Amino acid sequence: MLYSEKVMDHFRNPRNVGQLTDADGIGEVGNAKCGDIMRMYIKVKDNIITDVKFMTFGCGSAIATSSIATEMIKGQPIDKALQLSNKAVVEALDGLPAHKLHCSVLAEEAIKAAIKNYYDKNNIAYDKEKFCQLDCPCTAHHK
């Protein structure tokens, strides 16, 4: 079987789907190669992500990674949510086929984009390297 039971469960019964009209941060990322688009909405109170929703246009793996990623950061301090890696998302889903790993990267990036949006809206200082994409000039720091 290509997909684990967890992937299939999160695809068939995604958690935290929808929008937060009063979101404190919104992050949208996409992958031009596969056409997946992910939008994450977060509510933050006292530095804790109190609610999170997502809207994903994409394949089953994109939906499953979005769903489990929201579960993994809900109720967590922002700093802990920022540490969520695509590897942790894949492990939580009991694996993904190699050609679908980019979906887990999108989930990680969408969370970071939503947190960055929250920081920007509230004039909160942050370490820009934490939000650095792989194709940015400071990639050398990540190797």
Kindly tell me the burial class for residue 45, based on how many C-beta atoms sit within 10 Å of its own C-beta (0-12, 13-18, 19 or more). exposed
Neighbours of 31 (CB within 10 A): 16
Which pLDDT does position 108 carry in this prediction?
Answer: 93
- SS3 annotation, the chain: CCCCHHHHHHHHCCCCECCCCCCCEEEEEEECCCCEEEEEEEEEECCEEEEEEEEEECCHHHHHHHHHHHHHHCCCEHHHHHCCCHHHHHHHCCCCCHHHHHHHHHHHHHHHHHHHHHHHHCCCCCCHHHHCCCCCHHHHHHC
- Among 101, 17, 2, smallest CA distance to 57 is for 17
Question: Which pLDDT score is estimated for 130?
Answer: 78
Residue 75 Rama label (left phi>0; alpha psi -120 to 50; beta): left
Q: What is the pLDDT of residues 30-65, one digit of tens each?
A: 977 778 899 999 999 999 999 999 999 999 999 999
Q: pLDDT tens, 76-106? A: 999 999 999 999 999 999 999 999 988 889 9
Residue 142: pLDDT above 80? no
Measured between alpha carbons, how far is 87 from 131 in angstroms, rounded to an integer? Answer: 17
pLDDT at 133: 60
Q: Catalytic one among 34, 59, 136, 138?
A: 34
In this structure, are residues 56 and 103 in contact, taking their beta carbons and an 8 Å threshold? no
Q: Is the dihedral of CA 42, 54, 89, 135 positive or negative?
A: negative
More confident residue, 139 or 124: 124
Mean pLDDT of 6-16: 97
The reported pLDDT for the residue numbered 138 is 47
Q: How confident is the model at residue 2 (pLDDT cuts 50, 70, 90)?
A: confident
Residue 138 known to be catalytic: no
What per-residue confidence (pLDDT) applies to 136?
A: 53
Catalytic member of 103, 132, 136, 138 = 103
pLDDT at 34: 75
Tens of pLDDT, residues 12-26: 999 999 999 999 999
Active site residue 34: yes
